[in-house]
Structure 1
Amino acid sequence: MSDWLEQYSAALDQRDAREQVHKRYIDAYTKLADKSASAISNRSNAVPTSPISAVRTSTPTAKGKAATIASDKTDDPLSTLRTDLAATQKARAALQAQVDDLTTSLKTLEAQSKASTTQIALLTRQKVDGERKLRDRDEEIRGKSKLVTEAQDEMVALSLQLNMAEQTSEKLQKDNKELLDRWMTSKREEADRMNRDSSWQ
């Protein structure tokens, strides 16, 4: 929930708390104001039948003019008061409608906020699970990469050993051939000598 919404909710709570303390007075004043507005509306729609009205419709005398002037002076503040009261009631009704609309909007926003909070929590859990799986995959990849590197190193070492073994084998074969050649040469010479000594030639 945003800051302005929290401030607005807090202001509404404070207002409700203040009004709750003076609720009976506010209700009594509201009822009285409604009755007064209704009475004013009924009187304004009624046809005047007072003696003053009869005097006004007849030919005015000096006394009648004075009475009419006095009645006008008396009615002006009362009319103004009635007009102000009616305007106040109208403003109050408009404010009440505005408060009702704002309350509805607030409830809607609170419901949306709750739904958003639930969705955020779900997405957060999914994100945490995804990050954990990603870490597991990273560990697996690092482990396999290490095994591949070790296998490559071992293959290189075995290749070197094989090369050395092949070189050693070739050297041994060469040495063996040389030894065999010398032995064969020695045997031939010995045979020749024996033949000469025995006079077989």
Structure 2
Amino acid sequence: MQATVAPNWQQAIFLRLQERDTLEKQHDAVFHHYRKLTEQTRLLKQRNRALLSAAAAATSTSAANAVAGASSPSSSATPANPVQLAYITSLEQQLSTLRDEVATLYKTQGQNAQRLLLMSESHREKEEEARRQSELLAKLQLDYEKLKRQAEDLIHAAGEKDRGIQILQDELATLSLELSQIETRNEDLKKDNASLLQRWLDRMNEEADKMNEGTIWLEEVRKRRESSSPAEERAGVGGDGAASSPSAAKS
């Protein structure tokens, strides 16, 4: 996914730079031709002025030569043509200007070559930096996707835990209610058991008291039997047959 994202923004920046260069340099050719036309016009004006000066000088020289020829017909020297001299001078100036332009072009070409090398090196460094940034961005994207999945898993796990906690809270509330009911029943049972125990203890105490009374009565009867005479013992036996229970004898 990231491998397509990085070239897209780089391509967009490159296209915008091209649009800017195209917009700023759309009249460069016109300016260049205008400069060349201006330079040629200047040279032509200089040459025309030189030719006009030479023509004027030639006219005056011809007139002077005509007068001199009339006075001395034996003169055979042919003076140089000033127009040709002016034209040669203009051509030499133009040649010198062209040489200067060629030297300037060579110099500019060298500077442009140096700038091209620097721009190529800078472009290579920018491409390397862009590649590293793309790799880093891809790694960060993978880390982001991984962390996003982990966050989603944690959110899902937290939701499951929340549901589990809610279930446990409901069960805890139910168990608390049941425990309260059981404690209430236990309290009731404790009260019932205490009441039953007390009643049982009271009954056991009553039975123990009765048994103690019976034991005391039997002990007294035994003592009386041992201390009485045989006749009294028989009378006592008859009397004992009439008494059916220790409680009757006691009364």
Superposition TM-score tier, normalisation by shorter sequence: 0.5 to 0.7
Number of aligned residues: 147
1:62 is matched with which residue? 70
2:186 is matched with which residue? 180
Distance 1:82 1:65, change over 3 A: farther
Deviations 1:80-101 (A, max 9, x none): 2321232132122112212211
2:232 is matched with which residue? none
List gaps (5 residues or longer) in structure 2. 1-17, 30-64, 210-251
Return the offset for 1:107.
0.9
Query: Is residue 131 of structure 1 aligned with residue 149 of structure 2?
Result: no
Distance 1:66 1:112, change over 3 A: farther
The alignment yields a C-alpha RMSD, in angstroms, of 3.8
Q: State the percentage of identical aligned residues.
A: 10
Distance 1:83 1:194, change over 3 A: closer
Return the offset for 1:182.
4.2
1:88 is matched with which residue? 94
Distance 1:65 1:146, change over 3 A: farther
Q: 2:120 and 2:109 mapped to 1: Cα distance?
A: 16
Q: 1:95 and 1:79 mapped to 2: Cα distance?
A: 24
Aligned partner letter, 2:171 = A
Q: 2:193 and 2:69 mapped to 1: Cα distance?
A: 181
Structure-2-length-normalised TM-score: 0.46
Q: 1:66 and 1:193 mapped to 2: Cα distance?
A: 188
Aligned partner letter, 1:75 = N
Distance 1:61 1:81, change over 3 A: closer
Return the offset for 1:146.
1.8
Distance 1:140 1:190, change over 3 A: same
Q: 2:171 and 2:74 mapped to 1: Cα distance?
A: 143
Aligned partner letter, 1:62 = A
Q: 1:170 and 1:135 mapped to 2: Cα distance?
A: 51
List gaps (5 residues or longer) in structure 1. 9-55
2:118 is matched with which residue? 112
